[in-house]
Structure 1
């Protein structure tokens, strides 16, 4: 796995945990009243479209950090 994939997976899992903590759960369709969301599942189970959206989002954040001069140190082998 490359860094972007690891960041995307982590980003999704954090997002899903935050929604679950607010009482949301998996459902085939998004329903705000019932608090169901079709993406509330493991990142690995997302369809390729949703994975791509997540990868694009974290790529954008990473590019912004680099542009702003941030430096990164990976403390474990990936």
Structure 2
């Protein structure tokens, strides 16, 4: 049986610039997910129904409850921590 084995990134600190943009990045992750669902024929529904392709989270990010927002935040945090662990640097271009 398959067992997930994510790379341990627990010791990686997110740069302040990333923490400052966390909600923007999380909103983007949600919008990408929602756009894909909508393109695949899904629509908003009070409950998730895979057969009818309805999902209660097909709303603007701001309308999600904190539990649902936390999924996107954790995805972003985990992805950036992994990039840092793999040796990438996150820098903001200040024009």
- TM-score scaled by structure 2? 0.74
RMSD: 1.8
Where structure 1 has 5 or more consecutive residues not aligned to the other structure, the ranges are: none
Q: How many residue pairs get matched?
A: 77
State the Cα distance separating 1:76 from its structure 2 match.
6.3
1:75/1:25 CA distance change after superposition, 3 Å: farther
Equivalent position of 1:73 in the other structure: 91
Equivalent position of 2:10 in the other structure: none
Question: After TM superposition, which residue ranges in structure 1, 4 or more long, deviate above 6 angstroms?
Answer: none
Equivalent position of 2:16 in the other structure: none
Q: Higher helix fraction: Structure 1 or Structure 2?
A: 1
Where structure 2 has 5 or more consecutive residues not aligned to the other structure, the ranges are: 1-18
